[in-house]
Amino acid sequence: MTKYLILILTICICNVVNAQEKTVSPKSSDEKAITKVISQLFDGMRLGDSSMVSACFYSEVEMFTSYSDRQGNPHLKKGDLPEFLKAVGTPHNEIWDEVIWNIKTNVNGNLAQVWMDYAFYVGEKFSHCGVNALHLTKTKEGWKIFHLADTRQQKGCIEPDRK
């Protein structure tokens, strides 16, 4: 009887350990490719390279920013990719540095959603923070961003270590 009890307990423990291993699986090849696109986007912004940034986007893109004005009224502003690319590619005296962390990626087939916290700096000066929410689609050329929404705030921000 004791032998059977030990055998049953061993099987149960093995199943629990096996289930734990599956929940901590390494990133899929799609998640790695998506991470590469996101890194390219923010590296391109730091370099002021609009071509590098443009390559991250699908041909049709929607961009929105959600924010509150000084009176606390909520607003949603529609952005424009050509305008964004022009701003990125216009020479700056200081680097535009968008630091990201707490990245969450969900992938199903050819659709991905990525959510991340960010803090934006102009040179060494903190500008604003919020979250970025991106939707990507898998194309023949790789993953491309077709929707980007962000929030912007200047108070209550967590400033990450930039080292």
* Domains annotated on the chain, with CATH: 28-152 (3.10.450.50)
Contacts of 79 (CB under 8 A, 6+ apart): 63, 64, 65, 148
The pLDDT of residue 23 is 46
pLDDT of 55 higher than 90: yes
Percent of the chain exceeding pLDDT 70 equals: 83
The pLDDT of residue 26 is 61
pLDDT of 81 higher than 60: yes
87-121 pLDDT per residue, tens: 999 999 999 999 999 999 999 999 999 999 999 99
The overall average pLDDT reported for the chain is 87
Which of 54, 65, 131, 124 shows the shortest CA–CA distance to 87?
Answer: 54
